[in-house]
Structure 1
Amino acid sequence: MSLKISFRLLLHLTILLAAFLVQSRKQPTFWDFTNKHIDYPRTGAPSTKAYCNLMMWRRGLTRWPCMRNNTFINSRPRTIQNICRGGGRQVNGNIFESRRRFPVVACDIIFITPPQYHRCQYFGRQLNRRIRVACVNRQPIRFDRLI
């Protein structure tokens, strides 16, 4: 009898743990998007290469393995939020495209050292482009691409 009760208890605990793990899976947020992609006002740097290396390091994007590329949007967060609030065009599902151009710096990796040395080097291009973002609850949560 106690073996049967123990098995049921173990089964219930396993189901509860599985439900907890599914619910606790972190969903991207506007804060995550802001940390990864928005730099306003733009951080000063002598070149776009120096800017990318500094910003990728500051935002924690150079942990091994190094992030291969990232785009920083140099505009007010509210202006970017407007893409999800009627200021953008819905492309597909929760993907919205801006109607206006934004100043951005596109950073791409050019050099990776072995993990024990942990150095990532980037080059950057300053552009003025429209952007696509994924929106949830009228907030951008993921950068999709430059247009």
Structure 2
Amino acid sequence: MSPKISSWLLLRLAVLLAVLLLQSSEGARYRDFARKHIDHPQTQAANANAYCNLMMQRRGMMRRTCKRTNTFIHSSPGSIQHICRGGGTKVPRTRDRYDSRRRYRVTLCRSRGRYPNCNYRGRRQNRRVRVSCVNRMPVHLAGLR
């Protein structure tokens, strides 16, 4: 095999590997978003406070520190992905943020304690959500509207 052909093949292989790694990391970003923010169907708990304490521990957000606030969205992953795929309104002067057109059932959790006794208080609401999207997938919950 000539050096020219092997260099060309090596370059193509490197590009293919880079594309696969990029797609893999973007998939990981969505999976992290889903772990932190999607709970569908909603996990049952006695009340919003018990729900937050259970979910924050179950989802690993109380390791070495208490995550101060977190929001869980109680809708299907497809419904939330739809915000990035035409079901949301682009936020002006941003590159990748979209507001949902519809309202979602959410639970907002806020820590009232110090690690290791995080003690979350929960509030259930119906709100529109703002997400950052990468390749038409939500990767960051940027707030409630």
Q: Is residue 2:71 matched to residue 1:71?
A: yes
Query: Which of residues 108, 130, 133 in structure 1 aligns to 2:131?
Result: 133
User: Any unmatched runs of 5+ in structure 1?
Assistant: 1-22
Give secondary structure in 2 for the equivalent of 1:120: coil
Alignment of 1:34-113 (within 5 A): 34-91=34-91, 92-113=94-115
State how far apart, in whole Å, the 1-side matches of 2:112 and 2:65 are: 14
Match of 2:7 in 1: none
Deviations along 1:70-110, whole A, 9 cap, x unmatched?
00000000000000000000102100000000000000011
User: For 1:122-141, what per-residue CA distance to the aligned partner results, in whole angstroms no more than 9, with x for missing partners?
Assistant: 00000000000000000000
Report the alpha carbon displacement of residue 119 of structure 1 after superposing the two structures with TM.
2.0
Query: What is the Cα-based RMSD across aligned positions, in Å?
Result: 1.6
Please identify which structure carries the higher strand content. Answer: 1
**SS of the residue aligned with 2:112?**
strand
Q: Distance in 2 between matches of 1:146 and 1:32?
A: 19
* TM-score, normalization by structure 2: 0.79
Shift of 1:112: 1.1
SS in structure 1 at match of 2:113: strand
Amino acid at match of 1:54: L
- Amino acid in structure 2 at the alignment position of 1:134: S
Fraction of identical pairs, as percent? 48
The letter for the 2-side match of 1:121 is N
TM-score, length basis structure 1: 0.78
1:122 equivalent among 113, 120, 123: 120
Name the residue aligned to 1:142: 140
Letter in 2 for 1:129: R
* CA deviation profile, 1:39-68 (whole Å, cap 9, x unmatched): 000000000000000000000001122100
